[in-house]
Every structure is written in C-alpha cells, then in structure tokens.
Structure 1
Amino acid sequence: MRHREGHRSHHSGWLRAAVLGANDGIISTASLMMGMVAAGASNSTILLSGVAGLVAGAMSMAAGEYVSVCSQADTEAADIARETHELATDEAGELHELQEIYVARGLTRELANEVAKQLTAHDALAAHARDELGITDMFAARPLQAALTSALTFSVGAVIPLLVVLLHPAQFLGFAIASCSLLALLLLGGLAAKVGGANVVIGAVRVGFWGAAAMAMTTAVGYLFGVVA
C-alpha cells in the first residue's frame, strides 16, 4: 500500500500570497473608507474612494509581488547558471562538494559518497540545485502566479467593505464597515492559521489587531483633518 503524506509546507507559497492579498484588501480599503466616513463624506464619495482604493491596491499588489518574485527568480537563474558552469568545468570538485553536504547532514562518508555518485549520475544539476542551493520545483519563484494571486485576493478582500457601503444605510455606516471588516479579518486569520497548522485563535487575533489599529488611525485622521463642504 502506498504511503501518502500531506505536508502543510506545501501550501506555504500560495497561502502567503493569498493571505497577504486578502488582508491588505480588507484593511486598506476599509481603513480608507473609515477615514472618509469620519471626515463626513457622502456615501457616493465613500464608495468612489473604496473603488479607487481597490483598483489602485490590486495593481500595486500585483506589481510589487511580480517585481519581488522576479528578483528571486533572477537570483535563482543566476545560481543555476553558475552551477551548470561549475559542473561542466569541475565535475570532480562538484561531486566532492555534494559528498561533503551529505556528510554534514549526518551520513557516513561511505554512504555520502555513494549517494552523491548516484544522484550525480541521475541528474547532477537537480541534485546541486536542491541540496546545495535549496531550489526545488515546489518552491521555485513564479512571478506571474504570485502577481495574479495577490491582485485577485486583494480585490476579493476589498469587496467586503464595499458591499457594506452598498447594502447598509448611511446611519452607523462607520460601525458597519469596521465590524464587518474586523469579522472578515478574524475569519481569514483563523483560516490561514488552520491551513498552516498554527493556533487558530492567535492567528485570528493577530490579523484582527492590525486591522483594528489601521482603521482606528485613519478614522482619527478623518476626524482631525476632514472638511465637509
């Protein structure tokens, strides 16, 4: 019978981008709208500011994530190119380097030598990329995927406070935006923690705290500097 294991680290790449995007979408859009509410803006102005924040934020997230992951991909490509050159010009030295890596990890020298020889014969570049550089297909940088995920999840998160403005009457609008956004943040933080195998309560409170702090600060800015025409 084949033994299958599901490791939580397999989710780390997409989970990081998804949680970051959704959190930012909720927090930044809700905070922006809370500032506008505190300044005494009309519902249409609040809604317009939220939509503008969604579009600008989604593009910013996509661009930032793309550039960041592209830099990682460029570094990985440079390391792979260097390793390819070293394998072509110093095969014996690279074999010895691989042997020493396995010895350092706890294998006997005899076993390390045998493992290094077999892996080199099978796919030398893959062995060095994985065991020397720490680059694998699972965790390799994927800029476009990261950018699209961040933009999409930001937009999904930003829609939540926008829906509150559309569906809730003007009275107590600030309270409605804050409470719904905080609830969404708590649920998202708890879900992310559960998927990642962490403490659900701590994960939820951690996200909720920073969301509440951001909304409180922008609300204060709106009260202090808002001007009603």
Structure 2
Amino acid sequence: MSAPAPSTARERRRWTRYLVNERAEARVYRELAQRRSGEERAILLALAEAEGRHEQHWLTILGGEPASLPRASFRTRALGWMAGRFGSIFVLALAQNAEDRSPYDDDPHATPAMRADEKVHREVVRGLAARGRRHLSGTFRAAVFGANDGLVSNLALVMGIGATGAPPQLVLFSGIAGLLAGALSMGAGEFVSVQSQRELLAATEPGSDAAEVLPDLDLDANELALVYRSRGLTEVAAQERARQALEHARAAASDRPLSYRHRADATETHEVIGDAWRAALSSFLFFASGAVIPVLPWIFGLSGPAAVVVALVLVGIALMLTGAMVGLLSGTSPLMRGLRQLSIGFGAAAVTYVLGLLFDVTMGG
C-alpha cells in the first residue's frame, strides 16, 4: 500500500466519511442481493463490488484503516436497516435517491472512474427500481390516490359543514355519508377506467392467427410485410422485419412461437395496468381508510375547535405520509412531495371552511 498523500485534517475527515459510507452502501446492496435471485441478484452483487473498489481507493489515500471511524450518514444507515428487514421496492427507490447525490462530482481526490461509476450506478438502481414500480403501478396508483382523495375530500367536507355551526351529530353524519359516497364512486370509477384500458389494449394488440401460417407464406410475395406496414413501419423496414420473422418460423430458431410472444407481451402490458377488480377494491378501501381519518374526532365525541384541531393534525400526518411514499417510489424528494400533499389538502379544507363561515353568517343574518 502506498504512503498517504499530504493532506489536511479536514480532508482526512471527509475521506473517512466517504470510506464508511461506501462500506455501508456495499452492505445495503449485499443485503438486497440476499433477497433476490437470478439477474437482479448478480446486478446487486456487482454494485456491492464496485462500492468495495471505492472503499479501497479511500483506504489507499488515508494510508490504511483509520484509528477511529465516524458513523455512516443517517440516510445510508436507514437504507441498511430497511434492506435487512424489507428488501423491497422502497429500499431501491431510496437507494436511487442516494445515488442521485454523488459527492464525488466536485471532489478532486475522487478518480474519474469513480465519478463515472456513480453515474452508472444511478441508472442501474433506477432500472431495478423501475421493475418493481411496473408491478406496483396499477394497484398502487389506485391505493395512493384513493387514500389521498379520501383525506382531502372528507376533510374539506367536515370543515365546511363544521364552520356553519352545525351540531356535531350532523358533522359526523355528513362525514360518514361522504366516506361511503366517495368510496363507492372511486371504486366504480377505477373499475371502469382500468377495464376500459384493458379492453382498448386488447382491441389494438397484434393478433396471433397469422403466426400459425407463417411457414406456408410465399417468401417472394411476403404478405407478412403488409402486416408490419399497417402497424406503422416503412416499406423497407417492414420487408426486413417480415423476412426475419419468416426465417425464424421456418428454421424454428426462435425461443418461443410468435403467438406465445404476443400473449406474453399482452399479459405483461395488462400487469402494468392492473386488474380492474383489484384496482376497484383497492380504491374503495383506501378512499374509505383516508376518508375516515377526518371524522375520527367526531366519532370519539369531540366537537367544536378541539375536533377541528385534532382532525387537522391527523390528516396532516396522513397527507405527509402518502406524499412521502409517492416521493420514495417516484425517486423524488419524500419531504417535498409530502409538503405538496399537505399544502393541497389544507388549501382545499381552508376554502370550504371559509365558505362554511360565509354561509353561516348569511344564514345568521
């Protein structure tokens, strides 16, 4: 090992932080790899190996293992804790956020290869996280937006009714009625939306009937090229695509029959959209679970300003959590997404509350 380069105490502290964070990140990827198999496992282990190379770089600059090491950053330690217990899409999304903020871009002691590694790692983790997002997209979208709509709409409803000076029993009844009406509407709407998407895709998917007769087509006439031209390819591209399809069909060189590939592609597309009944049930349940939160203070007998304050606190926490969850899975800042959800929800509640006050004044006058 080469002798350490002359350095300041501040630089050595920074390098030591890099060292412990690289070690912690390598552990995260190894923990995730233990919960994966096949290609994903190999990719995660390769990422851990790359972090090990970075660790060795900082050890070389430091001249060996430092006498004392600081703790890894809170974000990295949180990633490690979650990876050891969940190993889910949330951990990969957090890891993507971590890779998005590489400290090596402005550090002259990091090698160009390390900076390049970090940028590549960002895309690798983004790709791994995208696999999980595709499986979650349909049902998860219905769940998150259902819960958020329930929170915002029912908070606005009970705030508006409460501001008119209505009795607590009327506020409670209005909240429960809003919960049921909204949940049923969301469930029905989600079912129609998802089912319509699936039916639309089914109508536009390439048929598999022609695949059965490919070996019998005249290679010179090549009617198959017309199929590809009808799907938007140019004449030259369609001819080339048709030629390859015929060769595969006749030589049995493809791994799977074309008809099977069509079915597999259609199935994968439908999985991304989600199941209509599952999406409807998720939307109904999550809207109801969100809509019940603003009503809880009145359910437990509170009324007046106390009920309003408790409702605002409970809904505020829930809005921050749903916003942060969307931020995590989309690879953006959980805090900013949470604050955005909070501002939208409280803004809607403020509008209805003011309208309720004006209505009360008008009626009172």
How does the TM-score come out when normalised to structure 1? Answer: 0.79
Find the aligned partners of 2:147 and 2:139 in 1 and give their Cα distance: 12
Q: Tell me the CA shift for residue 55 of structure 1.
A: 0.4
1:84 aligns with 2:208: yes
Gaps of 5+ in 1: none
Partner of 1:9: 133
Q: Tell me the CA shift for residue 17 of structure 1.
A: 0.8
CA 1:203/1:43 → structure 2, altered by over 3 Å: closer, same or farther?
Answer: same
**Cα pair 1:72 1:141 within 8 Å, conserved:** no
Q: Which moved more, 1:69-78 or 1:149-158?
A: 69-78
Partner of 2:321: 187
Find the aligned partners of 1:208 and 1:59 in 2 and give their Cα distance: 24
**Cα pair 2:186 2:280 within 8 Å, conserved:** yes
Q: Tell me the CA shift for residue 155 of structure 1.
A: 0.6
What do residues 123-153 of structure 1 show as CA deviations (whole Å, max 9, x unaligned)?
313535677x896343144211111110010
2:282 paired residue among 129, 149, 152: 149
CA 1:69/1:59 → structure 2, altered by over 3 Å: closer, same or farther?
Answer: same
Larger relative contact order, structure 1 or 2 (CA cutoff 8 Å, min sep 6): 1
**Cα pair 2:138 2:273 within 8 Å, conserved:** no
1:99-138 equivalences under 5 Å are 113=244, 117=248, 122-128=256-262, 136-138=269-271
1:93 aligns with 2:225: yes
Once the two structures are aligned, what percentage of the paired residues are identical? 32
1:54 aligns with 2:163: no
Query: Secondary structure in 2 aligned to 1:59?
Result: helix
Partner of 1:159: 292
Corresponding residue pairs, total: 219
Find the aligned partners of 2:253 and 2:342 in 1 and give their Cα distance: 48
Find the aligned partners of 1:128 and 1:119 in 2 and give their Cα distance: 17
Query: Secondary structure in 2 aligned to 1:3?
Result: helix
Residue type at the aligned position of 1:92: L
What do residues 132-184 of structure 1 show as CA deviations (whole Å, max 9, x unaligned)?
x8963431442111111100100111111121222363241222222221221
Find the aligned partners of 1:79 and 1:12 in 2 and give their Cα distance: 21
Find the aligned partners of 1:71 and 1:22 in 2 and give their Cα distance: 22
Find the aligned partners of 1:140 and 1:193 in 2 and give their Cα distance: 20
**Cα pair 2:209 2:259 within 8 Å, conserved:** no
CA 1:210/1:93 → structure 2, altered by over 3 Å: closer, same or farther?
Answer: same
Q: Tell me the CA shift for residue 63 of structure 1.
A: 1.0
What do residues 98-120 of structure 1 show as CA deviations (whole Å, max 9, x unaligned)?
9x79xx9xxxx89x948x93786
Find the aligned partners of 2:274 and 2:355 in 1 and give their Cα distance: 39
Partner of 2:150: 25
**Cα pair 2:154 2:294 within 8 Å, conserved:** yes
Partner of 2:331: 197
**Cα pair 2:198 2:270 within 8 Å, conserved:** no
Q: Which moved more, 1:148-157 or 1:71-80?
A: 71-80
Q: Tell me the CA shift for residue 86 of structure 1.
A: 5.4
Gaps of 5+ in 2: 1-36, 41-127, 215-222
Query: Secondary structure in 2 aligned to 1:195?
Result: helix
Find the aligned partners of 2:339 and 2:327 in 1 and give their Cα distance: 11
1:212 aligns with 2:349: no
1:174 aligns with 2:308: yes
Find the aligned partners of 1:218 and 1:119 in 2 and give their Cα distance: 66
Find the aligned partners of 2:273 and 2:329 in 1 and give their Cα distance: 21
Find the aligned partners of 1:40 and 1:140 in 2 and give their Cα distance: 45
Find the aligned partners of 2:348 and 2:257 in 1 and give their Cα distance: 50
Query: Secondary structure in 1 aligned to 2:272?
Result: coil
Find the aligned partners of 1:42 and 1:13 in 2 and give their Cα distance: 41
Query: Secondary structure in 1 aligned to 2:271?
Result: coil
Find the aligned partners of 2:329 and 2:336 in 1 and give their Cα distance: 13
Find the aligned partners of 2:356 and 2:253 in 1 and give their Cα distance: 63
Find the aligned partners of 1:216 and 1:158 in 2 and give their Cα distance: 17
Find the aligned partners of 1:193 and 1:126 in 2 and give their Cα distance: 37
